[in-house]
Structure 1
Amino acid sequence: MSTSHNPFAQGGWISAGSGHSRDGFWDTSGSPPSIFGALPYPSSPALPPPVPNSILFVFTEFAPSILNCTVTDNRAATVFSVATETTPRFTFVKDRDARNIAMLEWQTHPLVEVRGVVPRMEVRAWLALSQDARSRIMTVGNTRYAWAPSGSHILLYTTGTSVPAVLAKISKTPNSVTLELSPAALELGLLQCAIVATVLMQSGRNID
């Protein structure tokens, strides 16, 4: 595939087959985020649609990356924490009571499990790259949702409808990552999966 036809090769992206995400900063030149193989390069820098009445979750206190951080809510209260073993082979996402709600196992093809929601499986199956390499399809139960870049953000859309609805938006600053979830996303039970997907796509690790 030539560079001109490979969305992963444009703007500093690596090949789709490598499947790396990136926890680096947004490019201050105003170009879209370089998250490498986690998602393809956006086709345009258009402003993303808003997420009405969104609930904010902020990933902060990186040590040194999102793989070791805290997640706070609108009131700045810690609601989740992310911790990675020194080895490091496992990453755990814990709730405010320090109970494990999700686990990532870092190996050749990383594994993911979200307790009671996503059975243990390969990340490349749970966040599968779409055929056109323009989005990642997240499967929760029997429903599929699509993560796709839009300008300097990553949006979560519904699928299977003529007009996809925006359910979530990921944004980034030099010191934090923000996940905005719509009330509909919370009603659909997507909170934990969206938290885990954000960690994966901003981890800087191979996720395929």
Structure 2
Amino acid sequence: MLNPYSQGWQNTGASGLSSNGRPSIFGALPFTSPGALPTFFSFRFTSFNPSVLNCIIIGPQSRPYFRIVTDAPIPGVSVFQNSNGQNMALVQWHRHPEVEVRNIITRQRTSAMLALWTDQSSRTMSVNGATFTFTPRDNFIWIYSTASQPEILGRISRDQDTITLELTGEAIHLGLLEPAVVATFLLQCGRNID
């Protein structure tokens, strides 16, 4: 007997389309064709010194939006500052690291802020009463809303010299910018966050 789903599991490329051009049924998240991506605003983690633990985050119009400083002035702490030099978040690197985003996420373990799914395929984060997922796929970590109709809110990518966080205007409107910057850092810093 022929398996009606076998074609969706085989011969799929990075686009998520099978060889016949139809969407793959692999995965639980909704399929979005490559031409249907929303408009993104890019935030690039650059000027690694020597790594993302000390860097500058450049946003739209090539303006510096944030700075991350680790171990200065407090050893074992990564401090996130906005463009005015005000501290807006911190990560304390204990045996069980803790994170706080001022006025958005109360101090908690990083493993709670970015809770790993039981099957370890994604992580979730709650911000302002809404929950978002971070799901690796096709060389990106995709950020989705978990509403009844999930939508793409952003994605994270990395190359040799930069890490890029791209967010939609809707994500920024939902107050996701600062938490997503911190989440991107945690997911890309190379340290254990669980």
TM-score computed with the length of structure 2 as normaliser: 0.79
How many residue pairs are counted as aligned between the two chains?
165
Map residues 152-171 of structure 1 onto 2, 5 A cutoff: 152-161=139-148, 163-171=149-157
- For 1:206, the aligned partner's letter is N
List alignment gaps of at least 5 residues for structure 2.
1-13, 15-25
The answer as to whether partners of 1:48 and 1:151 remain within 8 angstroms in 2 is no
- For 1:83, the aligned partner's letter is V
SS at match of 1:194: helix
- For 2:177, the aligned partner's letter is L
- For 1:107, the aligned partner's letter is H
The answer as to whether partners of 1:48 and 1:153 remain within 8 angstroms in 2 is no
- For 1:188, the aligned partner's letter is L
Of 48, 52, 56, which residue of structure 2 is paired with 1:66? 52
Greater relative CO (CA pairs within 8 A, separation 6+): 1
Counterpart residue number, 1:34? none
Q: Following TM superposition, by how much is the alpha carbon of 1:143 offset from its aligned partner in structure 2, in angstroms?
A: 1.7
Of 69, 85, 89, which residue of structure 2 is paired with 1:98? 85
**Could you report, residue by residue, the CA deviation over 1:37-85 in whole angstroms, capped at 9, with x for unpaired residues?**
xxxxx98xx9985641211101000011111000001211111001001
Structure 2 CA distance for aligned equivalents of residues 187 and 62 of structure 1:
28
Structure 2 CA distance for aligned equivalents of residues 101 and 172 of structure 1:
24
Structure 1 CA distance for aligned equivalents of residues 113 and 33 of structure 2:
24
Counterpart residue number, 1:79? 65
SS at match of 1:198: helix
SS at match of 1:132: coil
Structure 2 CA distance for aligned equivalents of residues 99 and 167 of structure 1:
26
- For 1:156, the aligned partner's letter is I
Q: Compare 79-88 and 126-135 and name the one that shifted more.
A: 79-88
Counterpart residue number, 1:120? 107
Higher Cα Rg, which structure: 2
Of 157, 162, 174, which residue of structure 2 is paired with 1:188? 174
> Identity, % of aligned pairs?
37
Structure 1 CA distance for aligned equivalents of residues 61 and 53 of structure 2:
22
- For 1:175, the aligned partner's letter is D
Counterpart residue number, 1:25? none
Counterpart residue number, 1:173? 159
TM-score computed with the length of structure 1 as normaliser: 0.74
Of 148, 153, 158, which residue of structure 1 is paired with 2:135? 148
Give the CA RMSD over aligned residues.
2.2
Counterpart residue number, 1:7? none
Structure 1 CA distance for aligned equivalents of residues 127 and 64 of structure 2:
25
List alignment gaps of at least 5 residues for structure 1.
1-29, 31-41
Counterpart residue number, 1:57? 43
SS at match of 1:91: strand
Q: Following TM superposition, by how much is the alpha carbon of 1:142 offset from its aligned partner in structure 2, in angstroms?
A: 2.2
